[in-house]
Amino acid sequence: MRGPWSVTAALLVVVAVACHRTRPPEAAPDAGTLATALLAPDAGLELTLAKLDGFLAYERLLRGEPAPSVRQIQRLSQATDGGGRALEEAYAGLQRRTDRAQAVRADAGLTTAEVQALETLTAEVALARAGAGGPELDEALRALEAAKDQLPAEQRAGVEKTVRRLREQQERARSLSEVRARWGDAAVDTVLAREKAVLELWGVPGR
């Protein structure tokens, strides 16, 4: 028989799943203004797959090998056996990668402002997908719904409220309703055509 312990266990799973989602960086505070200026239907810009592919290639290049850390710089600068030369080579490699990324951006016809807008848009899509949870959350919610009838009325109401709130959150994340309201259906649908690559870019596990 299911009872309070099974409900407690399901609640713990819900909390663990919700807290363990990989989250991309927060969107810029002025994302709404930037979206309106760059991607509104009357702004004269239409997001295409070619531009999105160019943006993804650009970001992958920039996010390749990281720049030397402060500790690495200090260690190389203090080395007597070619440390200075190694540091120069590291920065030269970084500059070459940056130059290649800028060439990719230019070939795709992307302005700096468009890149910033796409960073915000793709981050919002990835963040919403992260908030949708996965099979573990679905299973935990089903367990809660199945076990709540064994609880006293006052506890049952709280469980029902929690399940309803999480279901609504899932639906908003899966439909991307809030992102669509800010950016428009066309832009979001274009991003979803490359959803796997966008989620990988922001470190969000695929669905």
Taking the C-alpha atoms of residue 194 and residue 207, their distance in angstroms, rounded to an integer, is: 13
113 part of a folded domain: yes
Q: Residue 47's domain spans which residues?
A: 4-14+30-201
pTM of the model: 0.63
Question: Residue 45 has what pLDDT?
Answer: 45
Handedness of CA 203, 205, 206, 207 (dihedral sign): negative
Higher pLDDT, 144 or 198: 198
161 part of a folded domain: yes
Higher pLDDT, 37 or 181: 181
Question: Residue 5 has what pLDDT?
Answer: 43
Question: Residue 170 has what pLDDT?
Answer: 81
**Contact yes or no for 62/104 (Cβ under 8 A):** no
Share of the chain above pLDDT 90, in %: 26
Higher pLDDT, 110 or 44: 110
How many domains, the chain?
A: 1
8 part of a folded domain: yes
22 part of a folded domain: no
Q: What is the mean pLDDT of residues 175-179?
A: 91
175 part of a folded domain: yes
Question: Residue 69 has what pLDDT?
Answer: 58
Query: Is the model's pLDDT at 173 over the cut of 90?
Result: no
Which letter does DSSP use for residue 20 in this model?
A: T
pLDDT in tens, 14-63: 444 444 444 444 444 444 444 444 444 333 347 999 999 999 999 998 88
The string of DSSP letters for 167-194 reads HHHHHHHHHTHHHHHHH-HHHHHHHHTT
Q: What is the mean pLDDT of residues 165-172?
A: 82
43 part of a folded domain: yes
Q: What is the mean pLDDT of residues 180-206?
A: 92
Question: Residue 15 has what pLDDT?
Answer: 46
21 part of a folded domain: no
20 part of a folded domain: no
